[in-house]
Amino acid sequence: MLEISSSWKSAYPGSLIGVLVMHGVVNPQQHPQLDEKKKELEDTLRAQFSSYDRTSLRAIPVLASYRDYYKQFNKTYHVQHQLESLVFKNRRIPGVAALVEAMFMAELKNLLLTAGHDMNAIESPLRIDVAKGTESYIRMNGEEQILKTGDMMIADAKGIVSSIIYGPDRRTRIRPETDRVVFTTYAPAGIEARDVSCHLEDIRENVTVIAPGASVELLETFGTD
């Protein structure tokens, strides 16, 4: 299911990749029970971080791991910004198609970077690697993107499907008709395997709210060791 390159192992010791594959899913534009769960999560996060300021929020160990990674590329971690908007500006989790929203909810709860793809559009195997800076792919916005040298990336037999800095590709995006889905979580060094596993379980739980009959094909965390 996932090939791990020696380049990734040597460049990012201690890093992890989580993979969740499910089939029998559905992807409605909106789902009432998921909306209720999303509202509960928003309230929980605001209460959890009500005593925090931006400095203490950024000191959370998971966010510190991503900040260290993004700093190499002169970038900042967008999930951190989304959490700050929710906590400090009282903004809502964006409303998108249900499968993507299920992933976003777990991202905000656990702060772990995740990409979702239509598994039927993937040409196996997936491969975790390190970009040489010459690879390119079409991002979700339809624009071609050259990867940054040294960025973690995942590819299938046809090309790049995601990178940390630039996110998922357009070719394998989750669609309204998606009935088989894969979620991949990038976890830089400093994040525990159990946290990645719990995060994937949260995504699985959110997906089963939408599709109670959905089944798990794979739920596993892969490391550099």
Q: Which residue has the higher pLDDT, 57 or 162?
A: 162
What is d(CA 127, CA 122) in angstroms, rounded to the nearest whole number? 11
CA distance 200 to 181: 13
Q: What is the DSSP string of 138-154?
A: EBTTS-EEEPPTT-EEE
What does the mean pLDDT of the chain come to? 95
Q: Residue 224 has what pLDDT?
A: 72
pLDDT of residue 69: 97
Backbone phi, then psi, for 86, in 5-degree steps?
-70, -45
Region of 159 (left: φ > 0; alpha: ψ -120 to 50; beta: rest) is left
**Amino acid at the residue 29:** Q
pTM of the model: 0.96
The model's pLDDT over 86-120, given as tens digits with 9 standing for 90+, comes to 999 989 888 889 999 999 999 999 999 999 999 99
Query: In sequence order, what are the residues at sequence separation of 6 or more whose Cβ sits closer than 8 angstroms to the Cβ of residue 36?
Result: none
The residue whose two tokens read 């990867």 is 147
Place 24 in a pLDDT band, splitting at 50, 70 and 90.
Answer: very high
Q: Which domains can be identified in the chain, with CATH numbers?
A: 2-30+97-223 (3.50.40.10)
Question: Which amino acid is it at 214?
Answer: A
